[in-house]
Chain A
Amino acid sequence: KAGVTQTPRYLIKTRGQQVTLSCSPISGHRSVSWYQQTPGQGLQFLFEYFSETQRNKGNFPGRFSGRQFSNSRSEMNVSTLELGDSALYLCASSLNRAVNYGYTFGSGTRLTVV
């Protein structure tokens, strides 16, 4: 059974550009969450999607957005990139929203903003 797939694995962008990251959950999983990991701030929650609807959002500016498609694949977008957006972006998928279903993380996308 395939795990959570995040693409691309590495990405280098220039300040001011925008970027789109992709997350394909485990087959049958309907909940997808995104996290940002930086050395300074640690792991911070970005947002959660379930059944194509954003259900929960972390404390990030509006430049960070996301969506989920009918096949549960999710994308997150960051517009007007800043140097501070350089981070590892992780997504996690779960069968359902209830915590007892368990969560599986992907290997992340390493974004570098120059």
Chain B
Amino acid sequence: AQTVTQSQPEMSVQEAETVTLSCTYDTSESDYYLFWYKQPPSRQMILVIRQEAYKQQNATENRFSVNFQKAAKSFSLKISDSQLGDAAMYFCAYRSASVTGNQFYFGTGTSLTVIP
């Protein structure tokens, strides 16, 4: 079974600064997708960014970017110019590209605090 590990239960960052959240995963599959989701107090899981394993180029979405190291099975999230609205739980997730493995595997989450 696939496992996703987030080793930082809590992180904090000054407003306007940059922070990196870590994630490692374990899988024997070669074709899969990786995600970062944000869960604010409203409880809804919101997609931050997605990476296809077959793509070597790291995904970027505005202030959010990833460092995807396939051989090392590492998938970190960098948040630049942090804003107060970025404060939330962040979950790293894995999903097989195969329809038969159609579920998310989530890490335990990192609680991000943004200090004004």
Give the interface of A toward B (CB within 8 A). Answer: 3, 33, 35, 42-43, 45, 48, 55-56, 58, 88, 90, 92, 97-100, 102-103, 105-108, 110
Is there an interface contact between A42 and B109, defined as CB atoms closer than 8 Å? Answer: yes
Known contacts A35-B104, A42-B106, A58-B103; is A99 also within 8 Å of B44 by CB?
no
Q: How far is the CB of B97 from chain A (nearest CB, A)?
A: 6
Known contacts A33-B103, A42-B109, A56-B102; is A90 also within 8 Å of B45 by CB?
yes
Give the interface of B toward A (CB within 8 A). Answer: 33, 37, 42-47, 50, 52, 91, 95-97, 99-100, 102-109
Q: Which of B50, B103, B108 contacts A56 (CB 8 A)?
A: B103
Q: How far is the CB of B70 from chain A (nearest CB, A)?
A: 17
Q: Which residues of A contact B97 (CB under 8 A)?
A: 99
Is there an interface contact between B108 and A97, defined as CB atoms closer than 8 Å? Answer: no
Q: Which residues of A contact B102 (CB under 8 A)?
A: 33, 48, 55-56, 97, 99
* 22 residue pairs A–B, Cβ–Cβ below 8 Å: A3-B44, A33-B102, A33-B103, A42-B108, A43-B106, A48-B102, A48-B103, A55-B102, A56-B102, A56-B103, A90-B43, A90-B45, A97-B99, A99-B96, A99-B97, A99-B102, A103-B104, A105-B44, A105-B46, A106-B44, A107-B42, A107-B44
Residue of A whose beta carbon sits closest to that of B44: A107
